[in-house]
Amino acid sequence: VVDKIADIFVQIHTHNIAILSWDVIEALAESLSAIELLLDYLAQQFVDQTLLEKANAYIDTAAKLLNAYIDAPEAVNDTFLTQKPAAND
């Protein structure tokens, strides 16, 4: 799990990616949250296999989305730069 998440951050650094799509950000955030919870469980000497599988799934999703972004960044238009501000009432 840790190696897979590290590979994602290496790719971000290697390709000098400064802007990510919301999907990639969400998948990364979910995977990091799951890893944090896994570490909490491990501190209690408990392994949650379902949570480990969920963390792996989020990491795989993030890697897939990131690879698609690297291959065709112009095809992704869902970044924070494309978000419209909410109307102020």
Query: Is 70 exceeded by the pLDDT of residue 80?
Result: no
Predicted structure pTM score: 0.73
Mean pLDDT within 54-83: 78
Confidence band of 11 (pLDDT split at 50, 70, 90): very high
Maximum Cα–Cα distance across the chain: 51
Query: Is 80 exceeded by the pLDDT of residue 27?
Result: yes
Residue 32, Cα to own-chain centre: how many angstroms? Answer: 8
Residues forming beta bridges with residue 21, ordered by sequence position: 79
Model pLDDT, residue 57:
92
65, 27 contact by CB (below 8 A): yes
Query: Is 60 exceeded by the pLDDT of residue 20?
Result: yes
Query: Is 80 exceeded by the pLDDT of residue 7?
Result: yes
